Structure 1
Amino acid sequence: MVQSLNTKIDLTIKATCFTGFTEYGNIIVGDKAFEFYHQHDPRKYIQIPWDEVDYVVASVLFGGKWIPRYSVETKKNGTFTFASKEPKKVLRAIRGYVDGQKMVRSLGFFDVLKRALFHKK
């Protein structure tokens, strides 16, 4: 059994992790780390200490009414993408440990098109 990095837990919620295959489990936001544990296989887990988080990127649609998924970009190990039932609760819990400047919105569909079409070299 894997040992949690957290000593105090702020939020536990059911979630989906998109790492190659879709994995279902629980997200735990605590005082030391952001953690994801697979619901059936204890060997599949993700633990990201707060000092390792580079950015938290949220995909925001309909003016902030719907957040389908969010990503945690780390300094060394890449990007991990998650979805949960109540993403606003998760992002609010993360905001307590990550600087507000490091929590950003992802580009929308038309923003990507504008950059592709009108980007000057």
Structure 2
Amino acid sequence: MTDDMQPYERLASLTVRFTTEVVLDSWLWRSLYEFGSGDIPDSAQVVEVTDLWAVSPEGYADTDIALIARLADGQWATCVAWSDTTGFGCQEGVDWRINSTRELAISQGLDRESRLHLGLALSGEGTTR
């Protein structure tokens, strides 16, 4: 592992416990930071990933990701990301947001689709998962 990948290796270790279609490894974490927009948290501030959904809708190379993370200062970060089969760096969208509470992170940091996939639908949004 090179030094520039160390922060992403640590982040990948925070998501090992999740069973997802796509494994959020250090390379995907790096892409979330490299191509991210919005209020991107310092990777060292991420202390726990509490919710994760990661799939490949086409079954290869493309990726949809939604996550909620607790930060060291007590705030909460969300990331909603996608890439097509050309991967991150070609066709992608990565939206990071930071909110003061988990509830705000869910309601304002995630889109409806992400909340549904994570089983965190707001009242009136319909069935979860």
More helix by share: 2
TM-score by length of 1: 0.31
More strand by share: 1
Larger Rg, first or second structure (1 or 2): 1
Q: Which has the higher contact order (CA 8 A, sep 6+)?
A: 1
